[in-house]
Amino acid sequence: MSTSTEDTFLQQLNQHVAIAHKISRVYQPDADERADLVQEMIYQLWKAYPSFNGQSKFSTWMYSVCLNTALTYHRNAKRWRHEALMPTHEQLPDSAPNDKEDTSSQLFEAIAGLAPLNKAVIILYLDGLSYEEIATVMGITISNVSVRLVRIRKELEIRLKK
């Protein structure tokens, strides 16, 4: 990559790095694993950047790469680690929503308990992507996005009431 291409990549990455952190928080309960996952996402973004053609927004493309990396990382982690060693959302301590941070933590814990593809859809939705953008990132139809979101909202409502 040329220096100007590297600079452009780094500038765009810095503007949207929160995407990687948000996705890693949902897919990895362990802080060390989250850090490893973010590093892997950045590496995959760097590798894939030459193929970024600008047909979509950088953030939309970044979501796609980061979600695919998280799903792959998650599958590989399951193969290599005994699941009993990894905390599940049921093993996380319960806390009453005292403030915005506690509520946010509860929401992330509830999202972490969703199926992997549903996690991706709700993260994209909560970040304000349109149904069309979500469909593009996920490779599903707009109507499938709509149906999934209705089901996800109901599931999250049940999880948050517990």
Q: What confidence tens digit (pLDDT) does each residue in 5-16 have?
A: 899 999 999 999
Task: Specify the number of domains making up the chain.
Answer: 1
Q: What's 82's domain CATH number?
A: 1.20.140
**Structure-block tokens of residue 32:** 């060390």
Q: What's the CA gap between 22 and 36, in Å, rounded?
A: 14
pTM more than 0.75: no
How far out from the chain centre does Cα 40 lie? 13
**Helix (H) or strand (E) segment spanning residue 65:** helix 58-80
Please state, in angstroms and as integers, the Cα–Cα distance from residue 142 to each residue in 49, 67, 81, 136, following that order: 26, 18, 36, 9
Which residues constitute the domain of residue 85?
A: 3-161
pLDDT tens by residue, 70-95:
988 866 655 444 444 444 444 444 44
Residue percentage of the chain with pLDDT more than 90: 57
CA distance 125 to 113: 17
